[in-house]
Structure 1
Amino acid sequence: MKQEWKELDTPTLLLDKEILLKNICSMSDFANRENVNLRPHIKTHKSVEIAKLQLEHGAIGITTAKLEEAEVMAAAGITDILVAYPVSSPIKVERILSLLNQGVDLKVTVDNLEQVKLLQKALEKTDHTLEVWIKVNSGLNRCGVEPGEEAVGLAKAIILLSRLRIGGIFTHAGHSYGARGEEELERIALAEAAAVVRSAEACENAGIPILVRSVGSTPTYRISGLVEGITEVRPGNAVFFDSIQVGLGVADRSECALTVLASVVGVYEGRIVLDTGSKTLCLDKGAHGLESVKGYGYVLDYPELTIERLSEEHGVAVFKGSCSLRLNDKVRIIPNHACTVANMFDEYVLVEGEYVVDKWKVDARGMRR
């Protein structure tokens, strides 16, 4: 007999399989239609099963945030991996060499001369060459060289090194998560693409070919991915979507594949308490803050509720007037930020309609090194 998800203990991470597949196909359809490659970021789901689904539906490889994620995916047989994070420490460089020894087609982020010299020195002790991608800053002001001449300067230094080869130029417009409206989002997306294309063209004018010109960010990829000269997109959150994406106008709630199943553990005047605190839903309203994101998650079917505050194990949801929920009732919550919430659980419980159909591990949970 099939188990209904309403019978599960809480809190539990539910993943709607039908919506998940629609979101995966939507990314692939965009890439196919616009003739760009798709390299989804797996830091959102951290799941081997989901990564393999994305590859089956046309992704050419994956993007990871950290080396540990890359190691987990490589151990599962996924070999075309971009580590979208600058790596320089000796311990991590040794782990890069280990992945190369395993036959992984690894691409590593670089954004400064000292870093590339350290990589070169380590590789000189081996038979390997390493593909590196230059990261440019497109407005987030986090990592990355400035577009244009700084990118060219680093590229010129790399081509003089015997064990490194330039595979591409990329950026991440993470500040798009703070966009106030469609006009600002479009401006950020076009600037994102321009930073990459301008840097790649400047390199090629200097005689340095750049084969891959890659952009990312779920809010922007459907705009920046249309710009002439861009060859690849790297959306991550689009596999699930969440309340932040809904607040940005990028997705509808019906496209949110991930929910947290919670139980009512207390009913009081003007408030209820759920068994989902900060260790479940996370204290996240977006890295840049959005006025459209209210509370700490959206309670499906109960729009009168606002999850106003979280302690570690308690979620306090307030309401005006009346609420029909009673002790031990269960609700589904769309998290504000799916990426951080997924990292709090060991497994996804896959559901179709009212029923549980499978369980998948969050394989790279906690992999942050």
Structure 2
Amino acid sequence: MNGTPDSRVHVDTTRIAANIAAFHARAAIPVRAHIKGHRTLEIARLQREAGARGIAVTRPQLARHYVTGGFTDLVAAWPWRDPQILDRFGELAADCALSVHLDDVAAVESLDGAARRYGTRAAVRVQVDGGTDVTAVAEAVDRARNLSLEGIVGYLDIETPEQATRRQELARTLADSLVETAERLRADGHPCDTVALGGTPCVDTLAPGITELGAGAYPLGDAGLVALGVLTEKDIAVRVDPGGTGLLAECGQPWHSAPFVRLPDGALAPTHICPLLLNVTELHTDTGERWPVLAPVTA
């Protein structure tokens, strides 16, 4: 761990609960809680209690922690093509309702093969981006024996300051495009019940026809969401001790390079919450509890 030995990351549990409730109300559609924004069982449980539609994970080993912790509705929110990782997701599907983001025909075949070996079934969400042949992937899922097509998903990716200033316009364009793609799939005879939009900054630009919003950073918040106008500084529920600058070294955004801001009380707040969580082992709550942060894994 970087930072001074006594560097701590503090969280305000009242603010976390308020952020979760406010965000879910603001979205007005079901929210899927991406655990990368906190990596704790405790906050995921708060999100579930507040009405979140399951959780999103990226790696099978992290998913297993949550399944063991009582979560049964999971989405693998990264379009993996690695057959070994897809094999582990095929195995995991024995213990939960699992949907996997895929954007490649060969990956569909790999996941289907894994599901056959383990006698499981999984759903697929086609991840839509500029290079995805959505029809080909959907047809591959139709041919699969142990998979079913649940729908499609797209993620708002902000890379430049100019894109940050246009985030609402870009999110709405993406949402409209997803709805149009879903309509084309249905017209061609493919089921497409789920039309999911990913990205906390999309909360204010949900088009009719979007059925689910995937979001990760909203419980703890960060200075990046403040800069985008999604949250205010008072909504940030996480504080790093002033001596913990080393913990925050990688917390910049492509569109906002400063890794942290200094708050009025002298504490630090990350520009991007997710990299901070890779450097800490626990969150210190205002109630005296210590919430374990799940360690990063490579599988």
- TM-score computed with the length of structure 2 as normaliser: 0.92
Find out whether 1:367 has 2:297 as its counterpart: yes
Aligned match of 1:281: 248
1:94 to 1:153, Cα distance in 2 relative to 1, 3 A: closer
For residues 18 and 177 of structure 1, the distance between their equivalents in structure 2, rounded to whole angstroms, comes to 33
What SS does the aligned partner of 1:171 have? strand
SS in 2 for 1:43: helix
Distance 1:87 1:283, change over 3 A: closer
Q: Pick closer, same or farther for the CA change 1:336–1:214 going to 2, 3 Å.
A: same
Q: CA deviation at 1:152?
A: 2.0
The equivalent of 2:153 in structure 1 is 170
Aligned counterpart in structure 1 of residue 238 of structure 2, from 247, 258, 268: 258
Match for 1:195 among 167, 177, 185? 177
Structure 1 residue 180: deviation in Å? 5.0
Equivalent residue of 2:151, what SS? strand
TM-superposed deviation, 1:347: 0.7
5 Å matches for 1:5-154? 10-31=6-27, 34=28, 36-101=29-94, 103-137=95-129, 145=132, 150-154=133-137
Could you tell me whether the CA contact under 8 Å between 1:136 and 1:151 is conserved in 2?
A: yes
Partners of 1:25 and 1:164 lie apart in 2 by 34
Q: Which residue of 2 aligns with 1:299?
A: 262
Which runs of 5 or more residues in structure 2 are unaligned? none
- The structural deviation recorded for 1:250 is 1.7
Q: Contact 1:69–1:368 at 8 Å: present in 2 too? A: no
Letter in 2 for 1:122: A
1:227-261 CA-partner distances (Å, limit 9, x unpaired): 11100001111111111111222211101011101
Structure 2 CA distance for partners of 1:207 and 1:296, relative to 1, 3 Å: closer
Cα deviations across residues 122-180 of structure 1 (Å, max 9, x unaligned)? 3333432221110001xxx6xx61xxxx3123212211221110112001112277455
Counterpart Cα distance in 2 of 1:15 and 1:277:
17
Describe the SS at the equivalent of 1:220: helix
> For residue 23 of structure 1, what is the amino acid of its counterpart?
N
Aligned to 2:145, what secondary structure does the other structure show? coil
CA distance in 2, matches of 1:70, 1:98: 11
For the pair shown, the structure with the greater C-alpha radius of gyration is: 1
Give the percent of matched residue pairs that are identical in Structure 1 and Structure 2: 24
Conserved? CA contact 2:60–2:92, under 8 Å: no
Query: Which one has a larger percent helix, Structure 1 or Structure 2?
Result: 2
**1:29-87 deviations in Å (ceiling 9; x for gaps):** 124xx3x2111111110000100110000012011122222111111111100011123
- The answer to whether the aligner puts 1:243 opposite 2:226 as a matched pair is no
8 Å contact from structure 1 (residues 88, 119) kept in 2: no
Aligned-pair Cα RMSD in Å: 2.0
Corresponding residue of 1:347: 282
Give the SS at the match of 1:204: helix
Deviation, structure 1 residue 357: 3.0
* Separation of aligned partners in 2, 1:176 and 1:361: 31
Note closer, same or farther for the CA distance 1:41–1:179 as it changes in structure 2 (3 Å cut). farther
Q: Deviations over 1:257-276 (max 9, x none)?
A: 111013xxxxxxxxxxxx32
> Structure 1: which amino acid aligns with 2:289?
D
SS at match of 1:366: coil
User: Any idea what SS the aligned residue of 1:167 has?
Assistant: strand
- What TM-score do the two structures reach when normalised by structure 1? 0.75
Contact 1:64 1:83 in 2 (8 A): yes
Secondary structure of 1:30 counterpart: helix
2:288 aligns to what SS in structure 1? strand
The 3 A distance-change label for structure 1 pair 155 and 62 is same
Q: Paired residue for 1:328?
A: none
Q: Distance in 2 between matches of 1:338 and 1:255?
A: 13
CA 1:192/1:180 → structure 2, altered by over 3 Å: closer, same or farther? closer
Cα drift, residue 284 of structure 1? 3.0
Matched, 1:160 2:160: no
